[in-house]
Chains A and B, each alone.
Chain A
Amino acid sequence: MRQQFARHTLRHWLLQGAITSLLLAGIVGVCSTPCLADESPKPDPAGIATGDKTSVQDAGGNLFIPATPDPSSPDFAAQKKAYDDFQAQSAKEPIAMKLADSVGHVRVATNFSWTLLTGYLVLFMQAGFALLTCGLVRKKNAAHLMMLNFAAFVFALLAYYAVGFAFQYGAAAINAAPTNLGGTPTLNSFLLGHGSWGFLGGKGFFLSGPGYDSGSLCLTLFEFVFMETAGYIIVGAICERISFWAFLLCELFIGGILYPVFGCWVWGGGWMSQLGSTIHLGHGYVDFAGSTVVHAIGGFCAMALAVILGPRLGKYGADGKPRAFPAHNIVYVVTGTFILLFGWMGFNPGSTLGATDLRISVIAMNTNLAAVSGSATALLLWYLIFKKPDITMACNGMLAGLVAITAPCAFVSPNSAVMIGVLAGLLVCGGVLFNERVLKVDDPCGAVSVHGYCGWLGAVCVGIFADGTYGSGWNGVGASNYLGQAGQGVTGLLHGDLSQFECQLLGATLCAVWAFGATYGVFWIVNKVKSMRVTAEVELEGLDVPEFGMSGYPEDALASIIH
């Protein structure tokens, strides 16, 4: 018996395509107009003008070339003397100045290598998460899970390439120039806002013009793999019941709007990073590698979608009690977790954007310490409550520790890292039980607890545990001294800075509200227009064959070839 295997008519797909193209064209049209009126620095696509004597720094971050003296500054006299002496000396030593150009170039080149290579490690985390989530669900949905993870990567990057990167980093040069990579001077305009109150970047759409620059594209690669992380987190909560077209819309939304907007506010030189300068809240909102920018955005977006979709069929009985849907492949779950841990060696240390910043070793060790203390805590707690150590909770505990250390990793001591891991391990266990039994939000892989709740915790921990040994001058605050000390970096409550804690608490909570609210707003409407869930028959059969025409494990299928 033959049956049409295209589940939707051609007209359906043409309509979907037309709507999406119109939407994208509209956004691009609006956004390109600022780029056309232009007196920016020239982009350097060949990389031959990036990195020179102005990039040279010593170990302490002191520039080789003294800064132009600032007449309004109290030590203007000293600055002017240093500057004038340097000018005189450099005129007598032209070879030294040429050498300085090479040194600057090598420094930037070292940092390009570092940033790109750590970015590739983060890219590999895609495979880890795909294995982890696939292993955690039922066998009949294995191909579906793999395809969601795969398609997430594909479509989120397309949205990020078109508009996302420009929204997030289009104004980076203003308040957040990555000096380790040559400063990306072409990304210098806000689309929404200006100065210290920026809301959306406006240069680099379609990675063209100002975006087609060697330094800028180095930043793009590193930042897109972080965006992809937020993109695949949602898979963990919406799998086993979301239809593929709806999922693609979610990915375009995350890559094009949800992630870049908050990312601009915190990392792109936007208003949240400038709160230290504008309203004296610590060093502004600080999130080193993305506990909130990446993980909480993904986690709370996932929560909103899970609420809209509703639980899987059969997950909650008539009595309201949750039913177990055991993982179909624990081997994938553990392997996936190890791959994620390995990739995190790129995620956290890579966020210095430079190997010349030797804090990278501290970051790497803090990351591992939080990972293992998170896992050990979750394992022990589960053993005490349920009498057996749950393998999937041990893995989730490790990931929770990793998520929670992601924001504070550069600013805390190893002992604090262990503490943060312990807190995350406790929170993830509580979160999983709370979501399942109290909120009744069906989250097959625990994405909301691991990434949402522990992401929030991580940002708040910056405000508690940061000890001031790193981050002097962060977000342009306290470059000469902070809290009365020269060289004092980002500091938390336990080391005497209440304002940083307040900033972190407010910022992390705003992240949750933004991610949940924006996602719920948009997709509540989408779901009303057309249900984002597959039909009951498809859900019970498993999504592999109905959605993709192939089974994850076809040997089980007893199928035969038609002649």
Chain B
Amino acid sequence: MKRIDAVIRPERLEQVKARLSSLDIQGATAAEVRGFGRQRGHAEMYRGTEYSVDFLPKILLTIIAADERVPQIVDAIIHGGRTGKMGDGKIFVTPVDEVIRIRTGERGPAAL
């Protein structure tokens, strides 16, 4: 089982969701986060004083999936989230040790 963490643009969430729903995903978690990569922030002025806006709003989408489904999910996120401009985001895939369903106590792939 793998954990897929995708940092995407907030306005692309609809597109990503649409592509993922056609793959029949069992679940996902979305969080509003702020971040930067190579798309730096920029400087602004407030009543004569400069300040910088470094961390930009993004969505962190987390999906846990069986190994064989990972490539399709990653593809869906890439195509849904890509605009071609800097700031599109990144996807991180990491291994998962254990998954448990709280309601029933099931473990492993059955809990996905």
Known: A540-B11, A559-B54, A560-B54. A3 touches B49 (CB 8 A): no
Which A residues are CB-close (under 8 A) to B52?
Answer: 559-562
The minimal Cβ–Cβ distance linking A546 to chain B, given in whole angstroms, is 9
The minimal Cβ–Cβ distance linking B77 to chain A, given in whole angstroms, is 19
Q: Are A545 and B44 in contact (CB under 8 A)?
A: yes
Residues 23-65 of B, flagged 1 when their CB comes within 8 A of A and 0 if not, give: 0000000000010000011111110011111110000000000
Of B14, B41, B44, B54, most buried by chain A (CB within 10 Å of CB) is B44
Known: A314-B14, A540-B11. A560 touches B43 (CB 8 A): no
Contact of A562 among B11, B40, B43, B55 (CB under 8 A): B43
Which B residues are CB-close (under 8 A) to A3?
Answer: 42-43
From 7 to 27 in chain B, residues with beta carbon under 8 angstroms from any chain A beta carbon are 11, 14
Which B residues are CB-close (under 8 A) to A385?
Answer: none
Give the docked Cα–Cα distance between A314 and B14 (Å): 10
Q: Are B53 and A557 in contact (CB under 8 A)?
A: yes
Q: Are A549 and B44 in contact (CB under 8 A)?
A: yes
Which B residues are CB-close (under 8 A) to A549?
Answer: 44-46
The minimal Cβ–Cβ distance linking A314 to chain B, given in whole angstroms, is 7
Give the docked Cα–Cα distance between A540 and B51 (Å): 22
Known: A3-B42, A3-B43, A549-B46. A562 touches B14 (CB 8 A): no
Residues 533-563 of A, flagged 1 when their CB comes within 8 A of B and 0 if not, give: 0000000100001000110000001111110
Of B14, B42, B45, most buried by chain A (CB within 10 Å of CB) is B42
Known: A314-B14, A558-B34, A561-B49. A5 touches B55 (CB 8 A): no
Give the docked Cα–Cα distance between A557 and B40 (Å): 14
Q: Interface range on chain B: under 10, 10 to 19, 20 to 34, or 35 or more?
A: 10 to 19
Contact of A561 among B34, B51, B55 (CB under 8 A): B51
Known: A1-B43, A545-B44, A550-B44. A559 touches B53 (CB 8 A): yes
The minimal Cβ–Cβ distance linking A534 to chain B, given in whole angstroms, is 14
Which A residues are CB-close (under 8 A) to B44?
Answer: 5, 545, 549-550, 559
The minimal Cβ–Cβ distance linking A315 to chain B, given in whole angstroms, is 12
Q: Are A559 and B51 in contact (CB under 8 A)?
A: yes
The minimal Cβ–Cβ distance linking A146 to chain B, given in whole angstroms, is 16
Which A residues are CB-close (under 8 A) to B42?
Answer: 1, 3
The minimal Cβ–Cβ distance linking B40 to chain A, given in whole angstroms, is 5
The minimal Cβ–Cβ distance linking A185 to chain B, given in whole angstroms, is 48
Which A residues are CB-close (under 8 A) to B41?
Answer: 1
Which B residues are CB-close (under 8 A) to A5?
Answer: 43-45
Closest chain B residue to A540, Cβ basis: B11
Q: Are A558 and B55 in contact (CB under 8 A)?
A: yes
Which B residues are CB-close (under 8 A) to A314?
Answer: 11, 14
Give the docked Cα–Cα distance between A545 and B46 (Å): 10
Which A residues are CB-close (under 8 A) to B43?
Answer: 1-3, 5, 562
Give the docked Cα–Cα distance between A557 and B44 (Å): 12
Which A residues are CB-close (under 8 A) to B54?
Answer: 558-560
Closest chain B residue to A561, Cβ basis: B51
Q: Are A562 and B50 in contact (CB under 8 A)?
A: yes
Give the docked Cα–Cα distance between A559 and B46 (Å): 12
The minimal Cβ–Cβ distance linking B17 to chain A, given in whole angstroms, is 13
Which B residues are CB-close (under 8 A) to A559?
Answer: 44, 51-54
Known: A1-B40, A314-B14. A550 touches B46 (CB 8 A): yes
The minimal Cβ–Cβ distance linking A535 to chain B, given in whole angstroms, is 12
Residues 1-15 of A, flagged 1 when their CB comes within 8 A of B and 0 if not, give: 111010000000000
Give the docked Cα–Cα distance between A561 and B55 (Å): 13
The minimal Cβ–Cβ distance linking B42 to chain A, given in whole angstroms, is 4
Give the docked Cα–Cα distance between A545 and B41 (Å): 12
Which B residues are CB-close (under 8 A) to A557?
Answer: 53, 55
Give the docked Cα–Cα distance between A549 and B49 (Å): 11
Q: Are B51 and A560 in contact (CB under 8 A)?
A: yes
The minimal Cβ–Cβ distance linking A479 to chain B, given in whole angstroms, is 60
Residues 304-319 of A, flagged 1 when their CB comes within 8 A of B and 0 if not, give: 0000000000100000
The minimal Cβ–Cβ distance linking A545 to chain B, given in whole angstroms, is 6
Closest chain A residue to B9, Cβ basis: A540
Give the docked Cα–Cα distance between A61 and B34 (Å): 69
Closest chain B residue to A313, Cβ basis: B11
Closest chain B residue to A557, Cβ basis: B53
Give the docked Cα–Cα distance between A314 and B44 (Å): 27
Give the docked Cα–Cα distance between A2 and B51 (Å): 10
Give the docked Cα–Cα distance between A545 and B51 (Å): 12
The minimal Cβ–Cβ distance linking A549 to chain B, given in whole angstroms, is 5
Which A residues are CB-close (under 8 A) to B34?
Answer: 558
Residues 372-398 of A, flagged 1 when their CB comes within 8 A of B and 0 if not, give: 000000000000000000000000000
Give the docked Cα–Cα distance between A453 and B40 (Å): 47
Which B residues are CB-close (under 8 A) to A545?
Answer: 44, 53
Closest chain A residue to B10, Cβ basis: A540
Closest chain A residue to B49, Cβ basis: A561
The minimal Cβ–Cβ distance linking B44 to chain A, given in whole angstroms, is 5
The minimal Cβ–Cβ distance linking A92 to chain B, given in whole angstroms, is 72
From 287 to 314 in chain A, residues with beta carbon under 8 angstroms from any chain B beta carbon are 314
Which A residues are CB-close (under 8 A) to B11?
Answer: 314, 540
Which A residues are CB-close (under 8 A) to B49?
Answer: 561
Which A residues are CB-close (under 8 A) to B40?
Answer: 1
Give the docked Cα–Cα distance between A428 and B105 (Å): 53
Which B residues are CB-close (under 8 A) to A2?
Answer: 43
Known A-B contacts: A558-B54, A562-B43, A562-B50. Give 11 more (CB < 8 A): A2-B43, A5-B43, A5-B44, A540-B11, A545-B53, A550-B44, A559-B53, A559-B54, A560-B54, A561-B52, A562-B52
Residues of B within 8 A of A (CB): 11, 14, 34, 40-46, 49-55
8 contacts between A and B (CB under 8 A): A1-B41, A314-B11, A550-B44, A558-B54, A559-B44, A559-B54, A562-B43, A562-B51
